[in-house]
Structure 1
């Protein structure tokens, strides 16, 4: 089941299936060369991760995450990723310091080239690297599941004009605090960054809120 689960999860995260799109069992069984039993187990697992919605008599569909829910998810991320950044500052090695600073240099170069897609990739790599350094398995599992639900909104944020130039100094501050082995500053820098993400998501929510009142 794990192969089918991983492949289907990756396809959803890459955007191969649109929000609310039905996931037809007969098509997926052929596509992934698997059985209905294995596929249904995979869909049940993805439903528990918040990526798929299962409805009686209608089957499975890709779950749509609203901006309002994305805000709530980010509030949880702010608390957990702050903890992870503090732990990373306590555990980072000299080699990892060099790797983090090199990543910061790549992010800066991507902004200078106006390569927003590359910057978005490096953004994800930075957060993943901090988690790897922290070696906090329960927190990593929580964040991975939350991020899976947030991927479309994160990509959308990265393309907002001016947003990367706001987030770059925040990311560099996280890097410097972790590399300085300062847990309090690392946690604070991560929380400041994710508060900024919350503000940007709230700006997305305003038009839909205004429209709902008409």
Structure 2
């Protein structure tokens, strides 16, 4: 994403946003308070497996298999699955156990409408903080650290995309907003990777990212929210096309 918007003399590849904040006197970013318990570690690992597609929608999560894969006790695995059920990431089905939640087309539409509203708000709030605290340079430097050196395919692009969107949420400095968006990200991530297989989609998305980054760096809250909403509408149209193709496919 070398477009002149992002100063390349900053190398943030081994820095967190908060450590960079300390160096630049940037106000500290708030994140959801997540205790470092074993259950939380297991939740994060199961979430990532769902995002990566290792656990597919509708797949049963067998406790014995998870115990072996995660090197965890039955009690810890059950607690992690119970919490994931409370978050709506898995369904807890009587006599079957935990099953990765399978969403309908309406569910996906609803998620994207909520995500558009919340990430649009995050972009607005990030732009307001950049303007209020003079954070254009640290924001641009942090955004540069999320960019791919070259187009390395769908998986690399998807990781970069998630990192950039999370950065914008971090700069909004709203922990409740961050937590809500984290729960929405899980069911959409697998389909985002599939849509990113198309190189033209990756190119379009990078251009849309540039518009969002430029608006936030300029401290233009209206433009930042508009650019983010437009970007997510385009993403929704791609993902819903994949959903439609999957729904049209005969059941195995």
Same structural fold, with TM-score higher than 0.5 when normalized by the shorter chain: yes
Which moved further from structure 2: 193-202 or 79-88? 193-202
Determine whether 1:22 maps to 2:60.
Answer: yes
**1: CA distance between counterparts of 2:247 and 2:65?**
37
Change (3 A) 1:207 1:18: closer
TM-score with structure 1 setting the length: 0.85
**1: CA distance between counterparts of 2:77 and 2:183?**
20
Which moved further from structure 2: 61-70 or 203-212? 203-212
**1: CA distance between counterparts of 2:45 and 2:179?**
18
Which moved further from structure 2: 60-69 or 127-136? 60-69
Q: Could you list the runs of 5+ residues in structure 1 that have no partner in the other structure?
A: none
Equivalent position of 2:165 in the other structure: 127
Which runs of structure 2 are paired with 1:74-153 in the superposition (5 Å)? 74-92=112-130, 93-100=135-142, 102-103=144-145, 106-107=147-148, 109-110=149-150, 113=151, 115-153=153-191
Change (3 A) 1:5 1:206: closer
How far did 1:169 drift? Answer: 1.4
- Paired residue for 1:7, among 45, 50, 54? 45
Which runs of structure 2 are paired with 1:168-183 in the superposition (5 Å)? 168-183=206-221
How far did 1:174 drift? Answer: 0.2
Q: Which has the higher helix share?
A: 1
Equivalent position of 1:200 in the other structure: 238
How far did 1:67 drift? Answer: 4.3
Determine whether 1:43 maps to 2:81.
Answer: yes
Equivalent position of 2:31 in the other structure: none
Change (3 A) 1:60 1:78: same
Deviation digits for residues 85-108 of structure 1, max 9, x if unmatched? 00101113144233255257x35x
TM-score with structure 2 setting the length: 0.73
Equivalent position of 2:97 in the other structure: 59
CA RMSD of aligned residues (A): 2.4
How far did 1:77 drift? Answer: 0.3
